[in-house]
Copies of this chain bind each other. A is one copy, B any other.
Amino acid sequence: MFETLSALAEPNRLRIVELLRAGPQPVGEISQRLRLRQPQVSKHLQLLKEVGLVGVQPVAQQRVYQLRPEPFRKLHAWVEAYRGLWDARFDELAVVIEDLKQKEKENARHDRRKK
């Protein structure tokens, strides 16, 4: 999960992933479409492969890279866990603030006894 995030947290890698959304592509094509030097593209793809975001399929001397669904599924699931925020809980803050004031009083009591 975290590996997926940091893999995507790099501009060129993100561009590569978004380009691959259009379909599988060989390194050379990615390289020229994004105006990136071939070695960097290869390195990024290597990284993306390690975290499972892409898969490779050799075709002659070319390597065709394509997106793999798993990481996206998981990302989706992760974000879903934050769905509770969608319909904002406005009073939450008020509650927390009350809690704080409450604890404060208790601490005050303890402090008086200890020091």
Interface residues of A (CB under 8 A from B): 2, 5-6, 8-11, 14, 21, 23-26, 57, 59-60, 62, 64, 66-69, 72-73, 75-76, 79-82, 84-86, 88, 92-93, 96-97, 100
Contact = CB atoms under 8 A, between A and B. Distances in A.
* Number of copies of this chain that the complex holds: 2
A59 B25 contact: no
Contact of A5 (B8, B69, B93): B8
Nearest to A72: B82
Contacts of A100: 26, 59-60, 62, 64
A76 B77 CA distance: 9
Contacts of A66: 92-93
Contact of A93 (B9, B57, B93, B97): B57
A5 B76 CA distance: 13
Given A6-B9, A72-B79, 13 more contacts: A2-B11, A6-B10, A8-B9, A23-B96, A24-B96, A62-B100, A66-B92, A66-B93, A67-B85, A69-B88, A72-B82, A76-B79, A79-B79
A81 B75 CA distance: 12
Contacts of A59: 97, 100
